[in-house]
Amino acid sequence: MTSPDDTVPVTTRRNPAPIILGVVVAVLVIYYIIVAFSGVLQSTTKVPISGDNKATSSDYLTLQMKVQDVDLGNRVIQANVLPIAHGSLLGAKAGEISEGLRIEVSSGGVTTSVVTFPGESVVNPTSVTLALDRGDTAYPFDQPFADFQLSVQEEDTGKAVPFEVDLTNSARPWVLNAHLSDAGVTDGKTLFPITIEGSRDALSITLVGFYVLAILLTTLMAVVTIGSALIKRKLEFSNVIWLSATMLSFPALRSAMPGAPPIGTTMDFLILFPCLCLVAGMLVWTGAHLLWRESSLLRTRHIPHGSED
């Protein structure tokens, strides 16, 4: 018979689950407060333009330029340009222009777009293509820019027409800003140099960082798991299957990254390619090791007695 003094004392410890849950809830509340008051959800499509972007005359044009796409693969920016007349340039009807105008866009050292509008005609948006410098090699921290020149003249006299630029951005997830420099005269044309600079938003960069972290952690887990299995002599066929699935999942993760460019970026050479090579090497090694071990029975000339049962 066991006496009361011989009972084993029951040890208890505090349950950490409520504390962990409280910390997670507090972090989420702080995050939502920051998002609500930081203005991230109230982003505008209007692109800020530095420099002198004010017309000096009451008779001027507003060039509404809307960026549609930033194509780093072909290194171009696709945009639409719509001139809006003011003052005496405004026609009798809505959307009509009174004078014949000629708008030239020069990008990459050549005139890429020439748009003419006859007098007393209704204007429509016109597509233009701008050459980009800096490609996608620094993904996701790439910062492409486009240098181009705008010129607006009267079609008949060649006189320069003052204008303002209204730039909007419809190419998500790019964050754009522009700078308008002082005008210069070339071959009798008044040219206004404009630079558009772009960068990816913080959300895209953060998501790409999570994908990269997943690739690195999975590779390290593969090294530790396969290394431990080889040392303990417990390598199984499931380890080889897991390595094969891991190697095939890396290109899928790479393609799923926000705005992922074609293969060949700095990130591919520094992270993706070494991890793929490491996992592929372990796959070949473990596959060959497992194949040699399991085929030992097939390689013997004499089967031990009782092995056929």
pLDDT at position 180 is 87
Query: Would you say residue 62 lies in a domain?
Result: yes
Type of residue found at 101: L
Q: What is the dihedral of CA 118, 124, 127, 128, to 10 degrees?
A: 50
Residues 229 and 102 in one domain: no
Task: State the total domains in the chain.
Answer: 2
Query: Would you say residue 14 lies in a domain?
Result: no
Lowest mean pLDDT among 79-83, 93-97, 171-175: 93-97
Q: For the domain that residue 85 is a member of, what is the CATH number?
A: 2.70.170
Residues 180 and 134 in one domain: yes
CA Rg value for the chain: 33
Residues 75 and 223 in one domain: no
Residues 66 and 166 in one domain: yes
Residues 6 or more apart in contact with residue 204 via CB below 8 angstroms? 140, 173, 258, 259
Residues 79 and 166 in one domain: yes
Q: Which residue from 128, 169, 162 is spatially nearest to 52, judged by alpha carbons?
A: 162
Residues 72 and 175 in one domain: yes
Band of residue 28 on the pLDDT scale cut at 50, 70, 90: very high
Residues 70 and 105 in one domain: yes
Q: 289 is in which domain, residue-wise? A: 203-296
Band of residue 7 on the pLDDT scale cut at 50, 70, 90: low
pLDDT tens column, 157-168? 778 888 888 899
pLDDT tens column, 99-122? 788 888 888 666 667 777 777 677
Residues 68 and 214 in one domain: no
pLDDT tens column, 240-257? 898 999 999 999 999 999
Residues 188 and 228 in one domain: no
Residue 5 pLDDT > 70, yes or no? no
Residue 129 pLDDT > 70, yes or no? yes
306: left (phi over 0), alpha (psi -120 to 50) or beta: left
Query: Would you say residue 25 lies in a domain?
Result: no
pLDDT at position 309 is 47
Distances (CA, A) of 302 to 214, 290, 291, 307, 309: 49, 21, 20, 10, 15
Residues 146 and 221 in one domain: no
The structure's pTM equals 0.75
Q: How far apart are CA 275 and CA 169, in angstroms?
A: 37
Residues 51 and 152 in one domain: yes
Residue 175 pLDDT > 80, yes or no? yes
Report helix, strand or coil for 272.
helix
Query: Would you say residue 24 lies in a domain?
Result: no
Top mean pLDDT of 38-52, 127-141, 263-277, 286-300 is at 263-277
Which of these three, 200, 231, 257, is where a domain ends?
Answer: 200
Residues 53 and 190 in one domain: yes
Band of residue 126 on the pLDDT scale cut at 50, 70, 90: confident
